[in-house]
Amino acid sequence: MGSRDVTAGKAAISHPRVWWRLWRDERGVVAIAVAILLPVLIGFAGLGVEVGMWFAVQRQNQSAADAAAISAGLEYAAQIQRGVRTDSVAATTAATTAANCNLFSTSSSSSNSVCPLPSSVSNTITLYLCYGFTVGSGTCNTSSSNGTLTAVQVVLTQPLNTAFANFVTAIWGPNINTIKVTTTAIAAFLPHQPPPPPTACSLPASAIPDNNGKLPKCLDVFLAL
Partner 1 sequence: MITVLRRSLRTRDGGRDAGAIAIEFALLMAFMPLTVLAFGIVDYGEVMGQAANLSAIVRGAAEYARGQVVQNNTLPQPSDLGTLLGVPAVIFSTTSFCTCAGSTDTTIQQNYMPVTCGGNNPCGATPGGDTRVLKYVAVSGSQLYTPIVSGTWSFPGSVNSRTVLRTQ
Residues that bind partner 1 (CB under 8 A): 27, 30-31, 34, 41-42, 45, 48-49, 52, 56, 59-60, 63, 66-67, 70-71, 74, 78, 87, 89-90, 93-94, 97-98, 101-103, 112-115, 205-206, 208-215
Nearer to partner 1, 141 or 219 (CB): 219
Least Å distance between CB 145 and partner 1?
27
Phi first, then psi: what are they for 162, rounded to 5°? -105, 150
Please tell me the distance from the alpha carbon of residue 74 to that of residue 69, in angstroms, as a whole number.
9
How near is the Cβ of 80 to partner 1 at its closest, in Å? Answer: 14
- Cβ atoms 153, 186 nearer than 8 A: yes
Q: Smaller CB distance to partner 1: residue 112 or 141?
A: 112
Output 50 or 141, the one with its CB closest to partner 1: 50
Q: How far is the CB of 75 from partner 1 (least distance, A)?
A: 8
Which residue lies nearer to partner 1 by CB, 94 or 141? 94
Long-range contacts of 102-111 (CB under 8 A, 24+ apart): 102/60, 102/63, 102/64, 102/67, 102/68, 103/60, 103/64, 104/60, 104/61, 104/64, 104/65, 104/68, 104/156, 104/158
Cβ-count burial of 153 within 10 angstroms (0-12 exposed, 13-18 middle, 19+ buried)? buried
- Could you tell me the CA-to-CA distances from 91 to 105, 161, 210 in Å, in that order? 17, 30, 22
User: Closest approach of Cβ 147 to partner 1, in Å?
Assistant: 26
Q: Which is nearer to partner 1, 110 or 143 (CB)?
A: 110
Cis peptide before 197 (omega within 30 of 0): no
Q: Give the shortest CB-180-to-partner 1 separation in angstroms.
A: 21
Rank residues 132 and 196 by Cβ distance to partner 1 and give the closer one.
196
Question: Least Å distance between CB 161 and partner 1?
Answer: 19
Q: Rounded to whole angstroms, how far apart are CA atoms 110 and 115?
A: 8
